[in-house]
Amino acid sequence: MQKKCYRPANWKDYNKSLVKRGSLTVWFDKNSIDSWYSQEQTGEKGRPELYSDLAIECCLTLKMVFHLPLRASEGFVSSLLEMLNLPLKAPNYSLLSLRQKHLVLPSLQREQPNGSKHLVIDSTGLKLYGEGEWKVRKHGKSKRRTWLKLHLTINERTQEIEAYVLTGDNVHDCETLPEMLRQAKGNVFQVTGDGAYDTHDSYAAVINIGAKPCFPPRVNAIKHKAIDEAWRLRNHAISQVRYHSLEYWKEKNNYHRRSLSETCMFRFKQLSGDKVQARTFERQITEVGIKCRMINKINKLGMPIKKVA
């Protein structure tokens, strides 16, 4: 069977959006300027917070966009405020590190249009610390080479990240599915993932939100007594693969849209890197959350519309 070849139907506009990704145009809207300093009292003992969460998020976003260390981030933000003649001060680098640990980020999701959505899910690895690829190739893998696991939920239509969970590399993909579905708000008609989600609990979690689970049965999958809807749907998927083929099942259930999750992960690593800079888990969660918001904002500049060549 000949493989379909796709080309962007809006190449002119998409090409402009790719150029805009490297634009250094920076501005602060009135809301950001007015909300730079904290106006609320936390009620906790000690000195009140001077900078708002918005200011801290802004500085950390610039830090991750330009891959800067904390001290350089303070200098970069200070120079921007000075060039724009704004009567604001940049937070100290130690304050940025301290506030990053407990920073509460806004929801990833924007207002959704009417109708249901199709969610695709997958996971990838982010390097935490350890030797680089050159040293590994020359001298072998080190025991200190450590990775984190990033689980993403992507809207199939908009290709935006709607939910994320950061875990250790020993956490299985299916264990994080209920949490990702809780984060993804709105009406969902289908959730698609690879064979790692082929479990009863994954089927049940998707059914509980009123959606259709689409997980390919594993090679050694066997049927179970259909005591609930989750087992019944899984048995039906196994039967379709046995009596037809895996390709037939994938085509019938629109499984190939799952590849968009791998495209999103490639975009994430290309634009924000394949490693995390923070050294504590709480700060790493904040760092990944800001990067996901950054990717969604970049997507709004323009995305390709595919057509068959």
Count of domains observed in the chain: 2
At 49, phi and psi to the nearest 5? Answer: -70, 135
pLDDT value, residue 75: 96
Same domain, 187 and 259: yes
Same domain, 75 and 129: no
User: How far is Cα 65 from Cα 93, in angstroms, rounded to an integer?
Assistant: 16
Same domain, 90 and 224: no
Query: And the tokens for 168?
Result: 């250790």
Same domain, 123 and 217: yes
User: How far is Cα 85 from Cα 161, in angstroms, rounded to an integer?
Assistant: 35
Q: What is the DSSP string of 167-186?
A: EETTS-GGGGHHHHHHHS-S
pLDDT, tens digit only, all 309 positions of the chain = 566 677 888 889 989 998 988 888 888 889 889 999 987 654 555 566 899 999 999 999 999 999 999 999 999 999 999 999 999 999 999 999 999 999 999 888 765 656 689 999 999 999 887 666 677 777 776 656 678 999 999 999 999 999 999 999 899 999 999 999 999 888 999 999 999 999 999 999 999 999 999 999 998 888 998 899 999 999 999 999 999 999 999 999 999 999 999 999 999 999 998 999 998 999 999 999 999 999 999 998 888 887 766
- On whether residue 127 sits in a domain, the answer given is yes
- On whether residue 308 sits in a domain, the answer given is no
Same domain, 131 and 251: yes
User: How far is Cα 174 from Cα 306, in angstroms, rounded to an integer?
Assistant: 31
Same domain, 135 and 72: no
Same domain, 89 and 157: no
What range defines the domain where residue 90 resides? 6-100
User: How far is Cα 86 from Cα 30, in angstroms, rounded to an integer?
Assistant: 11
Closest CA to 196 of 212, 167, 176: 176
- Residues 151-187, buried b or exposed e (16+ Cβ, 10 A)? bbbbbbebbbbbbbbbbeeeeebbebbbbbbeebeee
Same domain, 121 and 213: yes
Of the residues 44, 68, 100, which one is the last residue of a structural domain?
Answer: 100
Give CA separation, 39 vs 42, 91, 102, 296, in Å.
Answer: 10, 16, 18, 28
pTM assigned to the model: 0.88
Same domain, 123 and 26: no
